[in-house]
């Protein structure tokens, strides 16, 4: 498979939209993106429904459905997008996703005869309120950054930082889907059992080492039957798209509870996703070769393919900023903490899906996979405060002179993601942000 076989007219750099705000070159949402969300207008009684971003606007897909200007798979897709969640549309599969995306692209281009029809369906993003884009039935969090796994392993297990199975198997655990919420989430600092290294027994207390994790959320579209597995070459046909994901972590609770069965209360109190799902099709230009160090174990057959080697990785840039309460009060900009890329992932999206289903596990539309914290090879690419502060031993100085090792009450963590490549438009994921309230 070559990148050319994945590309179509919707990726053309020369396309421009009659929605002028999409043509600046700085918007996350040019006509080459067209991501999906669930929204409603603030202070209005009409309910949540599907929307697609274009520049600083949202196309109301329920309103567009009523115009009856599309036909075939595209119009059937609009019917499915008019609900308060995208699961039905996601379950329809790749042919439907692609048909609607192409129809929207054509209708939004300069010179389209459908401009007046679609103009009636536009809502300002500044007027919008968002919900989760779909009902997340199950959520699995993977651990795909070898740099993060090694850094954290050194803190928890100095003599044995990377466990022997890491290079053989995509490690993951089943998380708590009910506590995932959309960007703008506020949550109370979690409480639980904490045992200091020099203490004889644990205490019950608010978490003192609250952390973020910079991740990607991978949304399943068309699922598989129980007992059937998804092959690595078919895996991406089952992935609707991706969004930004902050998997909050209580590191002191985690250190006491994680052996022998892994994360529990340290992870189940809150997780935050960005509202916009960027489709796998929109991300096609930014795919790249995936490699495995020749000195490492090579993947077993069910995790190996030529297509995965050639184009299994996604070059998605990821950045984290911290806005403290003092910054908000004095209207100072947030302080950037790190920048990395999803291309550093040790395991690919296709490998995660193939491994998840190899034992016959059935995935359904709306299921979400977390990529695990995406840290790169250098310190500046660390995807968590645990790494940036070296387990709390190293103070991080912010732009305004404030200091952090872990997060404090009132802190707002902001994550951004984007793709850019010569010959193609820059596309983005919007923001995911969330603020910590006192315990």
H helices of 337-400, in order, are 349-357, 385-388
What letter does residue 17 receive in the DSSP assignment? Answer: B
Domain 139-437 has CATH 3.40.50.150: no
What letter does residue 29 receive in the DSSP assignment? Answer: -
Strand stretches in 201-277, DSSP E: 203-206, 210-211, 214-220, 239-246, 249-250, 271-273
| pLDDT, position 2 | 67
- Estimate the share of the chain in helix, then strand, then coil, as percent rounded to the nearest 5: 25, 25, 45
Beta strands 139-142 and 239-246, pairing class: unpaired
The proportion of the chain whose per-residue pLDDT surpasses 90, expressed as a percent, equals: 93
pTM of the model: 0.96
Q: Are 53 and 282 in contact (CB under 8 A)?
A: no
Sign of CA dihedral 157, 162, 168, 170: positive
CATH topology of domain 3-131: SH3 type barrels. (2.30.30)
| pLDDT, position 77 | 98
Sign of CA dihedral 431, 341, 149, 398: negative
Residue ranges, the chain, pLDDT below 50: none
Distant-in-sequence, close-in-space partners of 259: CB < 8 Å, separation ≥ 6? none
For the chain, how many helices (H) and strands (E)? 12, 26
Beta strands 249-250 and 172-174, pairing class: unpaired
Sign of CA dihedral 103, 105, 108, 109: negative
Chain-centre distance of CA 340, in angstroms?
Answer: 14
What gap in Å lies between CA 428 and CA 109, rounded to an integer? Answer: 19
Q: Of all helices (H) and strands (E), which one includes residue 337?
A: strand 335-341
Q: Please state the length of the chain.
A: 439
Condensed to tens digits (0 to 9), the pLDDT of residues 405-420 reads 999 999 999 999 999 9
| pLDDT, position 78 | 98
Condensed to tens digits (0 to 9), the pLDDT of residues 245-278 reads 999 999 999 999 988 888 899 999 999 999 999 9
Q: How large is the angle between the packed helices 72-81 and 94-108, nearest 10 degrees?
A: 100
Tell me, yes or no, if 148 is annotated catalytic. yes
Tokens linked to 360 = 């016959």
In the set 148, 238, 344, 355, the catalytic residue is: 148
| pLDDT, position 189 | 97
Q: Of all helices (H) and strands (E), which one includes residue 430?
A: strand 427-437
| pLDDT, position 1 | 62
What letter does residue 98 receive in the DSSP assignment? Answer: H
Q: Domain locations in the chain?
A: 3-131, 139-437
What letter does residue 78 receive in the DSSP assignment? Answer: H
What gap in Å lies between CA 79 and CA 65, rounded to an integer? Answer: 6
Q: Is 67 exposed, middle or buried (0-12, 13-18, 19+ CB in 10 A)?
A: middle
């Amino acid at each position: 498979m070559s990148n050319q076989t994945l590309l179509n007219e919707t990726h053309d750099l020369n396309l421009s939209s009659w929605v002028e705000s999409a043509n600046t070159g700085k918007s996350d949402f040019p006509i080459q993106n067209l991501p999906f969300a669930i929204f409603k207008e603030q202070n209005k009684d009409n309910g949540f429904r599907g929307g697609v971003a274009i520049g600083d606007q949202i196309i109301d897909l329920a309103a567009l459905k009523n115009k009856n200007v599309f036909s075939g798979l595209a119009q059937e897709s609009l019917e499915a997008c008019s609900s308060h969640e995208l699961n039905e549309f996601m379950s329809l599969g790749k042919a439907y996703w692609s048909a609607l995306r192409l129809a929207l692209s054509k209708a939004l281009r300069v010179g389209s005869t459908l401009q007046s029809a679609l103009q009636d369906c536009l809502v300002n993003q500044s007027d919008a309120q968002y919900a989760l884009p779909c009902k997340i039935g199950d959520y699995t969090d993977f651990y795909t950054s070898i740099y993060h796994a090694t850094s954290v392993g050194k803190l928890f297990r100095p003599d044995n930082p990377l466990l022997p199975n890491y290079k053989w198997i995509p490690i993951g655990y089943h998380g708590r889907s009910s506590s995932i919420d959309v960007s703008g989430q506020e949550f109370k600092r979690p409480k639980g059992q904490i045992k200091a290294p020099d203490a004889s027994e644990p205490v019950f207390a608010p978490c003192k080492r609250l952390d973020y994790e910079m991740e990607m959320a991978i949304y399943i579209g068309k699922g598989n039957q129980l007992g059937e597995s998804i092959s690595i070459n078919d895996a991406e046909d089952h992935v609707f798209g991706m969004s930004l994901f902050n998997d909050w972590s209580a590191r002191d609770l985690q250190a006491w509870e994680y052996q022998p069965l892994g994360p529990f209360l340290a992870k189940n109190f809150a997780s935050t996703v960005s509202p916009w799902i960027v489709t796998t099709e929109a991300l096609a230009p930014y795919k790249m070769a995936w490699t495995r160090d020749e000195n490492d174990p090579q993947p077993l057959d069910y995790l190996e393919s030529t297509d995965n080697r050639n184009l299994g990785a996604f070059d998605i840039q990821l950045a984290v900023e911290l806005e403290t309460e003092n910054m908000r009060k004095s209207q100072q900009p947030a302080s950037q903490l790190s920048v990395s890329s999803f291309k550093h992932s040790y395991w690919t999206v296709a490998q995660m899906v193939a491994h998840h289903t190899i034992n016959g596990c059935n995935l359904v539309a709306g299921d979400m996979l977390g990529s695990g914290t995406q840290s790169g090879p250098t310190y500046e690419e660390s995807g968590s405060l645990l790494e940036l502060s070296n387990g709390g031993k190293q103070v991080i100085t912010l732009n305004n002179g404030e200091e952090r090792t872990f997060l404090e009450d009132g802190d707002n963590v902001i994550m951004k993601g984007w793709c850019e490549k010569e010959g193609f438009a820059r596309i983005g994921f919007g923001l995911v942000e969330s603020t910590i309230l006192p315990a």
